[in-house]
Structure 1
């Protein structure tokens, strides 16, 4: 029988206690499960259960915290991670095609198919599982945070509209594998996507895949209030890549420098920073997923 460590986030915004218990019940029927609460003591919890694969019952933030802790401990390649999506956004679960039903997601873990995943690491010791974005997107997340308890997923597009209309942008230089993508021009948003969506389904980097050894980079320039509003509206629909002031690239290393700019990595707000570099580590960790990966997203434009 499989031995699992279940990390439970009972404060996750997308599901209640019944959903959590349904997932745990399914896991217990197929594995020897040790339960622990998500929080600041992850190192102690992981150290007390050596060798067990880890199942995250929570959202993207909980997954980020567990993957970061395993990476920091040098155990990421040795312990497969499972995910039962119970958060507000569940964007990485969506990229993998994981079921939204907690019991069904738990059965994916028990089925035991391990899928290698890429990981982004930055030059300040941080990691990114799903996506990192700088500029108006990070401002949008900050504006959405106090609205989430009342509006849930609707808080994200509202925050995006407010930030997109009000932001004046930042003068940034962006390179992908050394190739310039922005040359110190005023930029509304820089997105680096391992996964496809942020904010509960906004297709930030619609052509990205989390296991192809590269990240997708999107840079949106700001040209005025109406153009910023158009970008915010088309971003929600995933048609922003067709805008004249949006440029894209793909690669293994992304560097951003310039004006102090806020950063959002997997929902965690940091900064502002004047420079940061992210590097892809291909197949750095494994997650329990469906045997066949979801179909590659088609480009929109």
Structure 2
């Protein structure tokens, strides 16, 4: 991945502080603001939800956007910039604050607030690969298709922050009421989930079939590799001795078959019958600590 030195302190920063970060860890947010203000001209934006978050990014002008929030906030920012075809020309920075930071860590961003804020000011831009699906969704890290029906029936796609219920006490009250009305010993439709089972999927990598519908699989995983190549791993269902995983690399991955759900980074999507992901090499830039 190429790194481009940037003179961060000479730039103006648009610091977008995600509402979940403000509510979950106000002290880390305060520290991030103090460090950033000490090294650059900062304009703060405090969106109350996804719509205001999107408007803040759209009105950034020449300011470099800095997201203060967790992995979901980072993915939201990349998705918005991609949707408006502004990702290639916009170096993004993130100060991880919140409960879900494994993606930011895997991309090379420090999870300590002070270290991450200093990397915003003094770091370098690293160009990152991106996977884009045929519905214009993006994947920054890993994509996984688990066994059939592993998700509770009432969950559905997980695009909304789990903390969103914090601002809707009526929702918690209704959920509590439903639980009290369900007779003891009777399974609740809100929590019951089918047992996971093998999936029958066709997985194609650059047009070549890696596994077909006649071979049940336990899991499929896809992740961006080096130089615009995706690494694909399919785990067939084992009978007796453990089956060896099927491995492949390519720029385009298509999965089709029975309706399936998939987890892309932090969100669960689907069910769909087919989906294609394409790797875009160096599609976006992220500020990370410089060498040494």
Task: Give TM class, smaller chain.
Answer: 0.7 to 0.9
- Over 3 Å counting, the alpha-carbon distance change for 1:137 and 1:191 in structure 2 is farther
2:20 aligns to what SS in structure 1?
Answer: coil
Once the 2 structures are TM-superposed, how far is the Cα of residue 103 of structure 1 from its aligned partner? 1.1
Could you say if the C-alpha distance between residues 261 and 14 of structure 1 is closer, same or farther in structure 2, counting changes exceeding 3 Å? farther
- From 195, 206, 209, give the equivalent of 1:177: 206
Match of 2:132 among 113, 118, 121: 121
Report what 1:102 is aligned to.
113
Deviation of the 1:166 alpha carbon: 3.4
Matched with 2:279 is: 280
Structure 2 unmatched runs, 5+: 1-9, 164-193
Runs of 4+ with deviation above 3 angstroms: 12-15, 136-143
Of 214, 217, 220 in structure 1, the residue corresponding to residue 235 of structure 2 is 220
Distance 1:113 1:137 in 2: 42
CA 1:12/1:250 → structure 2, altered by over 3 Å: closer, same or farther?
farther
Map 1:230-245 to 2 at 5 A. Answer: 244-245=243-244
TM-score, normalisation: structure 2: 0.75
- Counterparts of 1:57-76 in structure 2, within 5 Å, are 57-76=68-87
Deviation at 1:72, TM superposition (A): 1.2
- Distance, in Å, in 1 between the alignment partners of 2:13 and 2:124 is 15
Q: What secondary structure, in the 3-state scheme, does the structure 2 residue paired with 1:66 have?
A: helix
Deviation at residue 78 of structure 1 after TM alignment: 1.4
In structure 2, the CA distance between the partners of 1:168 and 1:285, relative to structure 1 (3 Å rule), is: same
Partner Cα distance (2:71, 2:249) in 1: 23
Shift, 1:279, TM fit: 0.3
Give me the CA root mean square deviation: 3.2
Secondary structure of the 1:30 match is coil
CA distance in 1, matches of 2:264, 2:203: 17
Which structure is higher in helix share? Answer: 1
Residue of structure 2 in register with 1:88 after alignment? 99
Alignment partner, residue 237 of structure 1: none
Residue 246 of structure 2 corresponds to which residue in structure 1? Answer: 247
> What's 2:220 paired with?
190
Shift of 1:290: 2.2
Aligned positions, number: 248
Contact 2:205 2:251 in 1 (8 A): yes
Aligned to 2:212, the other structure's residue is in SS state strand
Q: Report if the CA contact (8 A) 1:42-1:69 is conserved.
A: no
Q: What is the rounded CA distance, in whole Å, between the counterparts of 2:90 and 2:62 in structure 1?
A: 7
Q: Secondary structure at the match of 1:272?
A: strand
Q: CA deviation at 1:35?
A: 2.1
Cα offset, 1:14, TM superposition = 11
- Cα 1:98–1:281 shift into 2, 3 Å: same
Q: Deviations over 1:4-63 (max 9, x none)?
A: 122222424996111111112111111122222252233321222212221121122111
Q: Paired residue for 1:22, among 5, 16, 31?
A: 31
C-alpha spacing 1:255/1:98, structure 2 compared with 1 (3 Å): same
Quote the Cα distance in structure 1 between the aligned partners of 2:27 and 2:82: 31
In structure 2, what is the Cα distance between the partners aligned to 1:216 and 1:57? Answer: 30
Deviations 1:268-288 (CA, angstroms, capped at 9, x unpaired): 221101100000110011000
**C-alpha deviations, 1:44-90, integer Å up to 9, x for none?**
21222212221121122111110011111121111111111223332
CA distance in 1, matches of 2:276, 2:137: 10
- Partner residue, 2:65: 54
Separation in 2, partners of 1:87, 1:136: 29
